[in-house]
């Protein structure tokens, strides 16, 4: 295991360097002269030349790459150009630290819901192969999966925000609620970071409860135990938030988050569902399933403990690959719903030619997917001994 871990970490490090280099080079190919953008055109030629030399813009590309890597290692991503969205030219790191938690919370909610719905539905439709029970969810899933994200978002906004008046029309905070807290010096991260932790904790708790109760054969007892577990979890979280005094803010954020999350889940759940279906169909052909049936186990026990259990591995792989898809989806939805996260920053930065910010965001996305990939691979090695001994 240690050997595997070491090899895998080395691979990730190598990929990271590749990502950084690629991103750096992409932003070098831009047409035109960058100096005309960041130096005031009124500057006299001598002062201009001095500035270029001081900024190191006269050095060859490979030298600049080395300098850039060195700065990255110290956590320095440079400063934003002072364009409309990023006034004041703050350090890019600061912008990322401010915005990253907002994207992560969106991301966590979407991924958890996608995989939960996808897993449960996929298990169902594989089991009901060839019936309307398979056909209807598949058809709906395929249509939703191929829906153009902006159209879905705009329709949901119109429907739920303007017609039903259930959710706010874009944005991320109701300033009336936030004002007293902001006057006390609260930043958005004071709310978002605890939210990420409690969302993660609640998910893990729910997983544990369902895992622990899975073997209860009597339906009524199983349901009661699960309901109890969920209620305990919700009550615990509510109590904790009450004590911090930030409960109204957290609710406000959830209220604003609902529509972007709904958009991404509607479009995204089909993918894990179909992977789960295929994977179930493969494991349903195995001999141990026949054995389980011959033992006289209930349909539910065969499906959940024998087939679905072995069908989980491809889902883990698809998770690693879907991280990129959710990141892409977040870029679109954040902009559509004016959710000021990383994706929003990227589109604004590209529109305003604010290259330091754009570079920072793309790099963060790269690091995020690399990390997710690494975590999934390590989990995989834990679940499946064939991987670590290969």
Judged by the rule CB under 8 A, the positions of this chain that interact with another protein are: 11, 14-15, 18-19, 22-23, 26-27, 29-31, 129-130, 138, 142-143, 145-151, 154-155, 157-158, 162, 274, 278, 281-282, 284-285, 320-321, 323-325, 327-328, 331-332, 335, 343, 346-347, 349-351, 353, 355, 358-359, 361-362, 365-366, 369-370, 373
How far is the C-alpha of 337 from the C-alpha of 45, rounded, in Å? Answer: 45
**Minimum separation from the CB atom of position 309 to another protein (A):** 18
Pick left, alpha or beta for residue 185 (phi over 0 → left; psi -120 to 50 → alpha; otherwise beta). left
Geometric angle at alpha carbon 162, from 157 and 164, rounded to 5°: 100
How far is the C-alpha of 367 from the C-alpha of 153, rounded, in Å? Answer: 27
**Minimum separation from the CB atom of position 272 to another protein (A):** 15
Q: Residue 246 or 381: which CB sits closer to another protein?
A: 381
Q: Residue 148 or 288: which CB sits closer to another protein?
A: 148
Q: Residue 191 or 349: which CB sits closer to another protein?
A: 349
Geometric angle at alpha carbon 237, from 234 and 239, rounded to 5°: 105
**Minimum separation from the CB atom of position 160 to another protein (A):** 12
Picking from 333, 331, 274, the residue whose alpha carbon sits closest to that of residue 149 is 333
**Minimum separation from the CB atom of position 51 to another protein (A):** 22
**Minimum separation from the CB atom of position 336 to another protein (A):** 8
Query: H or E element: which one contains 360?
Result: helix 355-383
The CA-based dihedral angle spanning residues 378, 384, 389, 390, taken in that order and rounded to the nearest 10 degrees: -90
Q: Residue 142 or 232: which CB sits closer to another protein?
A: 142
**Minimum separation from the CB atom of position 190 to another protein (A):** 28
Buried b / exposed e across 148-158, counting CB within 10 Å, b at 16+? ebeebbeebbe
**Minimum separation from the CB atom of position 180 to another protein (A):** 30
Q: Residue 6 or 158: which CB sits closer to another protein?
A: 158
Q: Residue 146 or 220: which CB sits closer to another protein?
A: 146
Q: Residue 159 or 227: which CB sits closer to another protein?
A: 159
**Minimum separation from the CB atom of position 26 to another protein (A):** 6
What is the SS3 string spanning 96-147?
A: HHHHHHHHHHHHHHHHHHHHHHHHHHHHHHHHCCCCHHHHHHHHHHHHHHCC
Q: Following DSSP, what letter does each residue of 273-338 receive, concatenated? A: HHHHHHHHHHHHTSHHHHHHHHTT--HHHIIIIIIHHHTHHHHHHHHHHHHHHHHHHHHHHHHHTT
**Minimum separation from the CB atom of position 74 to another protein (A):** 23
Q: Residue 257 or 358: which CB sits closer to another protein?
A: 358
What is the crossing angle of helices 312-336 and 247-268, to 10°?
A: 110
**Minimum separation from the CB atom of position 362 to another protein (A):** 5
Q: Residue 18 or 221: which CB sits closer to another protein?
A: 18
Q: Following DSSP, what letter does each residue of 183-216 receive, concatenated? A: HTT--THHHHHHHHHHHHHHHHHHHHHHHHHTT-
Q: Residue 370 or 381: which CB sits closer to another protein?
A: 370
Pick left, alpha or beta for residue 170 (phi over 0 → left; psi -120 to 50 → alpha; otherwise beta). left
Per-residue tokens: 65 = 């790459």
């Amino acid at each position: 295991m240690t050997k595997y871990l070491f090899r895998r970490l080395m691979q990730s490090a190598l990929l990271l360097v590749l990502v950084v280099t690629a991103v750096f080079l992409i932003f070098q190919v831009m047409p035109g002269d960058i100096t005309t953008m960041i130096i005031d055109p009124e500057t006299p030629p001598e002062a201009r030349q001095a500035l270029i030399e001081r900024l190191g813009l006269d050095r060859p590309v490979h030298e600049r790459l080395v300098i850039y890597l060195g700065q990255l290692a110290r956590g320095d991503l440079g400063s934003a150009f002072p364009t409309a969205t990023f006034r004041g030219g703050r350090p890019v790191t600061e912008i990322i630290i401010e915005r990253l938690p907002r994207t992560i919370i969106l991301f966590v909610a979407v991924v958890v819901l996608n995989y939960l719905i996808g897993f449960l539905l996929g298990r169902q439709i594989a089991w009901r192969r060839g019936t309307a029970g398979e056909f209807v969810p598949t058809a709906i899933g395929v249509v939703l999966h191929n829906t153009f994200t902006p159209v879905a978002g705009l329709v949901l906004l119109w429907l739920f925000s303007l017609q039903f008046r259930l959710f706010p029309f874009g944005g991320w905070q109701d300033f009336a609620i936030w004002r007293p807290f902001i006057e006390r010096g609260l930043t958005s991260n004071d709310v978002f970071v605890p939210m990420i932790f409690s969302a993660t904790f609640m998910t893990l708790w729910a997983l544990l409860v369902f895992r622990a109760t899975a073997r209860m054969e009597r339906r009524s007892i199983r349901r009661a135990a699960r309901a109890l577990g969920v209620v305990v979890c919700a009550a615990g979280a509510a109590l904790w938030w009450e004590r911090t005094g930030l409960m109204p803010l957290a609710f406000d954020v959830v209220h604003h988050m609902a529509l972007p999350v709904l958009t991404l889940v509607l479009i995204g759940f089909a993918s894990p569902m179909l992977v789960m279906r295929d994977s179930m169909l493969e494991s349903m052909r195995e001999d141990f399933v026949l054995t389980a049936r011959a033992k006289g186990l209930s349909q539910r026990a065969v499906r959940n403990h024998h087939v679905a259990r072995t069908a989980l591995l491809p889902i883990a792989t698809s998770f690693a690959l879907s991280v990129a898809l959710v990141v892409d989806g977040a870029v679109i939805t954040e902009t559509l719903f004016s959710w000021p996260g990383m994706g929003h920053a990227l589109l604004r930065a590209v529109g305003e030619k604010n290259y330091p910010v754009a570079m920072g965001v793309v790099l963060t996305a790269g690091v995020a997917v690399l990390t997710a990939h690494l975590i999934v691979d390590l989990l995989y090695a834990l679940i499946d001994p064939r991987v670590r001994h290969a």
